[in-house]
A and B are shown apart, each in its own frame.
Chain A
Amino acid sequence: MVRLKYWMLAAMVIAVVVAAAATGCKKHAVDPFPASGAVTGWEKTSDTRTFEAKNLWQYIDGDADQYIAAGVVSTSTSDYKYRGQLEATVDVYTMGDAAGARKILEAAQTKDAKAVQVGDAGVAFAQSVIFRKGATLVRIVAYESTPDTPQALLALAQGVEGKL
Chain B
Amino acid sequence: MKSRREFIKTTAAGALILGSSATAGKLGLAAMLDKPADAAKSKVVVARDAALHDASGQLDEKRVQDLLDRAIAAYTGREKPVEAWKRIVPVGKVIGLKVNGLGGKGISTHAALVMAICERLQQAGVKAGEIIVWDRGARDLSACGMTVATDPSRIRCYGNDVAGYEDQPVAFGTAKVNLAKILTRDCEMVINLPILKDHGGAGVTFSMKNMYGVVQRPYELHGNNCNPGVADLNCIPTVRDKVRFTIGDAMTSVYNGGPGFHPEYLWQPNALIVGEDRVAVDHTAWQMIERKRAEAGVPTLEAANRLPRYIATAADGEHRLGTNDPQRMHLMEV
Contacts and interface: CB of A to CB of B under 8 A. Distances in A.
Contacts of B202: 62
Which of A62, A65, A111 counts the most chain B CB atoms within 10 A? A62
A125 B219 contact: no
A62 B263 contact: no
Contacts of A65: 200-201, 222
Contacts, number: 63
B288 to A, nearest CB: 18
Interface stretch (B75-83, B98-106, B165-173): B98-106
A87 B200 contact: no
A112 B256 CA distance: 14
A87 B218 contact: no
A143 B143 CA distance: 11
B261 interface: yes
A162 B102 CA distance: 30
Given A57-B218, A57-B219, A145-B57, A62 B200 contact: yes
B331 to A, nearest CB: 27
B324 interface: no
Contacts of B105: 87, 89, 143
A85 interface: no
A113 B262 CA distance: 13
Given A61-B102, A63-B200, A89-B104, A126 B263 contact: yes
B222 A62 contact: yes
B219 A142 contact: no
Contacts of A61: 102, 199, 212, 218, 259-260
B258 interface: yes
A145 B262 CA distance: 13
B151 interface: no
Contact of A62 (B57, B106, B258, B262): B258
B38 interface: no
Interface in B249-303: 257-264, 266, 297
Given A57-B222, A87-B105, A62 B264 contact: no
A72 interface: no
A88 to B, nearest CB: 10
A108 to B, nearest CB: 8
Interface residues of A, number: 24
Interface size class of B (residues with CB under 8 A): 20 to 34
B264 A126 contact: yes
A50 interface: no
A9 interface: no
B201 to A, nearest CB: 4
A108 B265 CA distance: 11
Contacts of B201: 62, 65
B227 interface: no
A80 to B, nearest CB: 12
Contacts of A142: 263
Nearest to A144: B57
B205 interface: yes
A78 interface: no
B299 to A, nearest CB: 12
Which of A87, A111, A125 counts the most chain B CB atoms within 10 A? A125
A60 interface: yes
Contacts of B258: 62-63
Given A127-B266, A142-B263, A145-B263, 9 more contacts: A60-B259, A62-B201, A63-B258, A65-B201, A89-B261, A125-B264, A143-B105, A143-B106, A145-B56
Interface of B: 56-57, 102, 104-106, 199-202, 205, 212, 218-219, 222, 226, 257-264, 266, 297
- Pairs of residues from A and B, 3 with the lowest C-beta to C-beta distance, nearest first: A127-B263, A62-B201, A125-B264
